[in-house]
Amino acid sequence: MREKILTFIEKNSRVELKELAILLGMSETDVANELEAMENEGIICGYHTLIDWDKVTTERINAVIEVRVTPQRGRGFDSIAERIYKYPEVESVYLMSGGYDLLVMLEGKTLREVSSFVSEKLSTLESVLSTTTHFILKKYKDHGTILHQEYADEREILS
Amino acid sequence: MRNPLSQTIVNIKPSGIRRFFDIAAERKDTISLGVGEPDFDTPWHVRDEGIYSLEKGRTFYTSNAGLMELREEICKYLSRRMDLNYDPKKEVLITVGGSEAIDIGLRAMVDPGDEVLIPQPSYVSYEPCAILAGAKPVIIELKNENEFRLTPEQLLAAITDKTKILIMPYPNNPTGAIMERSDLEKIAKICVEKDLFVISDEIYAELTFGDRKHVSIASFPGMRERTVVINGFSKAYAMTGWRLGYACGPEEILKQMTKIHQFAIMCAPTTSQYAAIEALKNGDTDVETMRESYNQRRNFLMHAFREMELPCFEPFGAFYVFPCISEFGMTSEEFAFALLDVKKLAVVPGSAFGLGGEGFVRISYAYSLKKLETAVGRLVEFVTELRNKA
């Protein structure tokens, strides 16, 4: 049941409790209890909104930064990752296999803001060996949702 | 000039759904819950495989029976999902949709005067296909109180010494009814005793809900040798436009079906066949995801009907609900026309699906929840207004 709830709210977290219960064929109390339990257990970590900022006048700049670091004895990558993810402008941090160690996703208001974060804060961290910054030019699909998509029902009215 | 037409075909009435929707199509702002095909696109990996086959220049005919790899995948699928075992070399035929299989299955098995039992309400093509094959269709009227399942008593009452074939249209369009193992057991026994053959149209087999897995009548003792199982890719994998189905059954019957197919069709579309291989190999999760969506919508509609006190048995198959509208003192056609006229909502009158459909309308839930919500809003208004008038 948990998986069904999660699969649904992953795409639409604004669904009303009553409606979700009907759709999943569960009682409202059961759904509410499961949701609360999953929040407490840290399975549900937040309810976010997917926004296409390109359609809003506010400028946003997104960057993806590949970071090579020296792991620390006894703590591996965790402590350097922590030092990076504590910055509020950092959107996500992942430990990666392959040619670099940490993938850092960043959101800033201006190009200058992003570049100064990289040059002044990130690169100067002691265990950071190198950084490679890529700027995102256009988002086509985010969180499983295709942006700029218009849906038309082209099925013939009858079949 | 002589009359150019065959009297047989002239005497067959065109599909009642078509007549209704020609009118519906002309009205603006109409919401339709009439379509009997998935609202999902074919999964991308399946479409991609079709595109790839075109890029590779695989634009030739396949063998009459279809690509061997596809037939093998179908056999594996039927074995893992339906507990049916067929020989891909001799017992499988790839057809142009399930509809072709219905047509040639009947043509391969009946002679003039043979009787074909057709439970109704059901899909509109069985009766005309039986007539075109020269057989005499005998209609069994399914009942709401049996949740539109075929009962052994009804079957026995319809059998004569001319009866040759029973059509099994489950999971059912338009009612959403299914036949469970215990129901089928009794039907199968009668078929063996009375020496009937069965054409089992299982095109909605993947769309059953509430842990009621589809059971094929061919899996019962003594049934494999007297059953042609029809299935296809349209409903399960949202591949209606690819026109791809298949028939499986005893070699003796399939051989004759393949002969008709060879002369009338040659082979099913090659691009579609390559795409279908991918669907069978890697499409299980797509089916699962779509099934879950349909189930949510089904739950939504059943709840809405309970709220507006519109009687409707809970259907566990296909993507239709079949509520009863007899309380309003209108025929199902009158009801559907009025609903279209007043609320611009199109549903299909139950009478379009033959006997037993009068007093009901078919509502398809192959639509997004958002659309269903709007549609239900209009239906509630309509029903309330009718009740206030009464």
Contacts of A23 in chain B (CB under 8 A): 296-297, 299-300, 369
Alpha helices in B27-95 (DSSP H): 44-55, 68-82
DSSP element (H, E) containing A61: strand A61-69
Residue A158's pLDDT is what? 53
Residue (of B332, B384, B335) closest to B358 by Cα position: B332
Residue A58's pLDDT is what? 78
CB contact under 8 Å between A153 and B240, yes or no, is: no
Which two three-digit tokens encode residue B157? 């009452």
Q: How far is CA B132 from CA A29, B128, B262, in A?
A: 56, 6, 19
Measured between CB atoms, which of B35, B296, B369 is closest to A157?
B35
Residue A34's pLDDT is what? 96
Alpha helices in chain A (DSSP H): 2-11, 17-24, 28-40, 78-85, 111-116
Is A15 in the B-facing interface, judged by CB distances under 8 Å? Answer: no
Residue (of A138, A118, A113) closest to A128 by Cα position: A118
CB contact under 8 Å between B34 and A23, yes or no, is: no
B360-373 pLDDT, tens digit each: 999 999 999 999 99
- Each domain of chain B, given as residue ranges in start order, spans 7-42+285-385, 44-282
- Rounded-to-integer distance, Cα B182 and Cα B264, Å: 39
B211-224 pLDDT, tens digit each: 999 999 999 999 99
Residue A18's pLDDT is what? 95
User: Dihedrals φ, ψ of B164, to 5°?
Assistant: -120, -40
- Each domain of chain A, given as residue ranges in start order, spans 2-40, 53-138
Residue A157's pLDDT is what? 59
Cβ-proximal residues to B106 (8 Å cutoff; 6+ apart), any chain: B116, B129, B130, B133, B135, B165, B199
CB contact under 8 Å between B299 and A8, yes or no, is: no
Least Cα separation, residue A17 to chain B (angstroms) = 13
**Number of Cβ pairs closer than 8 Å across A and B?**
43
- The pairing of strands B227-232 and B245-248 is antiparallel
- DSSP SS3 for B200: strand
CB contact under 8 Å between B292 and A4, yes or no, is: yes
Is A45 in the B-facing interface, judged by CB distances under 8 Å? Answer: no
Mean pLDDT of B182-187: 98
- Rounded-to-integer distance, Cα B134 and Cα B115, Å: 10
CB contact under 8 Å between B25 and A23, yes or no, is: no
Which range has the worst mean pLDDT, B18-32, B296-310, B315-329?
B18-32
Residue A159's pLDDT is what? 46
Specify the DSSP class assigned to residue A156: -
Identify the band that residue B388 occupies on the pLDDT scale cut at 50, 70 and 90. Answer: very high
Question: Does the A53-138 domain belong in CATH 3.40.640.10?
Answer: no
Amino acid at the residue A37: A
- Rounded-to-integer distance, Cα B346 and Cα B33, Å: 6
Q: Backbone dihedral region of B96: left (phi > 0), alpha (psi from -120 to 50 degrees) or beta?
A: beta
Contacts of B37 in chain A (CB under 8 A): 155, 159
Least Cα separation, residue B91 to chain A (angstroms) = 30
Q: What mean pLDDT, rounded, does chain B reach?
A: 96
ipTM > 0.90, yes or no = no
Mean pLDDT of B69-87: 97
Residue (of B327, B329, B324, B387) closest to B361 by Cα position: B324
Residue (of B170, B216, B165, B169) closest to B191 by Cα position: B165
Residue A64's pLDDT is what? 96
- Rounded-to-integer distance, Cα B97 and Cα B181, Å: 26
Which two three-digit tokens encode residue B47? 């479409």
- Rounded-to-integer distance, Cα B164 and Cα B286, Å: 38
Peptide bond into B171 cis (omega under 30): yes
**Rounded to a whole number, what is the distance in angstroms from the first to the last CA of chain A?**
35
Task: State what percent of residues in chain B have pLDDT above 70.
Answer: 100
CB contact under 8 Å between A153 and B39, yes or no, is: yes
Which two three-digit tokens encode residue A64? 């993806």
Mean per-residue pLDDT pooled into runs of 10, chain A (159 residues): 93 93 95 96 94 84 95 88 92 95 93 92 92 93 85 68
Q: Backbone dihedral region of B361: left (phi > 0), alpha (psi from -120 to 50 degrees) or beta?
A: beta
CB atoms within 10 A of CB B26: 9
Residue labelled with tokens 């890719």: B233
Least Cα separation, residue A44 to chain B (angstroms) = 21
B274-284 pLDDT, tens digit each: 999 999 999 99
Is B300 in the A-facing interface, judged by CB distances under 8 Å? Answer: yes
> Architecture of B44-282 per CATH?
3-Layer(aba) Sandwich (3.40)
Could you tell me if B24 and B352 are in contact, meaning their C-beta atoms sit under 8 angstroms apart?
no
Could you tell me if B231 and B100 are in contact, meaning their C-beta atoms sit under 8 angstroms apart?
no
Supply the DSSP string of B155-195, one letter for each residue: HHHH--TTEEEEEE--SPTTT-----HHHHHHHHHHHHHTT
Peptide bond into B174 cis (omega under 30): yes
Least Cα separation, residue A51 to chain B (angstroms) = 20
Residue A41's pLDDT is what? 96
Amino acid at the residue B300: F
Cβ-proximal residues to B267 (8 Å cutoff; 6+ apart), any chain: B61, B62, B63, B64, B65, B66, B94, B261
Residue (of B287, B293, B294) closest to B364 by Cα position: B294
CB contact under 8 Å between B299 and A157, yes or no, is: no
Specify the DSSP class assigned to residue A52: -
Mean pLDDT of B343-355: 94
Class of domain B7-42+285-385: alpha beta
Task: State what percent of residues in chain B have pLDDT above 90.
Answer: 93
Supply the DSSP string of A88-127, one letter for each residue: TTEEEEEE-SSS-SEEEEEEESSHHHHHHIIIIIITTSTT
> C-alpha A132: how far from its chain's center?
20
Residue labelled with tokens 């090659």: B270
- Rounded-to-integer distance, Cα B54 and Cα A29, Å: 53
Residue (of B96, B230, B250, B252) closest to B167 by Cα position: B230
Residue B356's pLDDT is what? 95
Identify the band that residue B148 occupies on the pLDDT scale cut at 50, 70 and 90. Answer: very high
